[in-house]
Structure 1
Amino acid sequence: MNVVLWIVAGVLAAAFLGAGGMKAAQPKEKLAAEPRMGWTEDFSGGAIKTIGALEVLGAIGLILPALLDIAPILVPIAATGLAAAMLGAIIVHARRNETAGIVAPAVLFVLSAFVAWGRFGPYAF
């Protein structure tokens, strides 16, 4: 199960690093032009950049603490934070009646919650 948790954490880290990096690096106007980024209209540019930065930090927190064996308790904390962020994304998409936009955050929520459960519980470092 430890290997499965590492694989899921790696996939999550890659996904959040890409998505968060995009949100943190691109201006709001460019993001709003993307097909599945209509939600950006509801947030300020600073809020979008903050969300992106937190996703990048969460991605780093899923891998580095355990890899370097420095404060590995940060791994399940990062997973919990990312799960909370995805819960927020699900709510935003649901309020905007973007049912297709709910699928990806829901999958990421389940995977993040799985890593949090595994690393807080029976497969802690």
Structure 2
Amino acid sequence: MNVALWIAAGLLAVVGLVGGALKVVTPKAKLAAMRGGEWTQGLSDGLIKGIGVLEVLAAFGFVLPRMLDIAPVMVPVTAVCWMALMVGATVTNQRVGQGKLAVATVMYLAIAAFVAVGRF
């Protein structure tokens, strides 16, 4: 079970790090032009970068506390926060008609729920 939790947390960390870094360093216009970038419509550049920062922080929160044995309770707390982020992402994807991306965010939400339950 511990190995499965590490794999799940690691997967979410990679998703958060890559997705968050992309949002932080890429201008809004370029994100909007990318495939699946419709979700950026109506959002400010600052909000998009803020979401990216939260995703990067979550990436570290999924692995570092347990790895370093410093406040390991932060891993399930991070997972619960990630779940809230994924609920917002799912709603946004549905709002702009991106059903396939909404399915992906629900899968990330389910993986985060597994991590939260397993680590609490």
Instruction: Select between 100-109 and 58-67 the one with higher mean Cα deviation.
Output: 100-109
Superposed, 1:36-75 pairs within 5 Å as 36-75=36-75
Equivalent position of 2:19 in the other structure? 19
Unaligned runs of 5+ in 2: none
SS of equivalent to 1:88: helix
Would you say 1:80 and 2:46 are equivalent positions? Answer: no
Alignment of 1:85-100 (within 5 A): 85-100=85-100
Give, in whole Å, the separation in 2 of the partners of 1:95 and 1:33: 18
Secondary structure of the 2:12 match is helix
- List gaps (5 residues or longer) in structure 1: 121-125
Alpha-carbon distance in 2 for matches of 1:38, 1:5: 33
CA-to-partner distance for each residue in 1:50-108, whole Å, 9 max, x for gaps? 00000000010000000000011110011111111001110111122221221211111
CA distance in 2: counterparts of 1:14 and 1:56, whole angstroms = 9
1:112 aligns with 2:112: yes
| TM-score normalized with structure 1 length | 0.93
CA RMSD of aligned residues (A): 0.8
1:41 to partner: Cα distance: 1.2
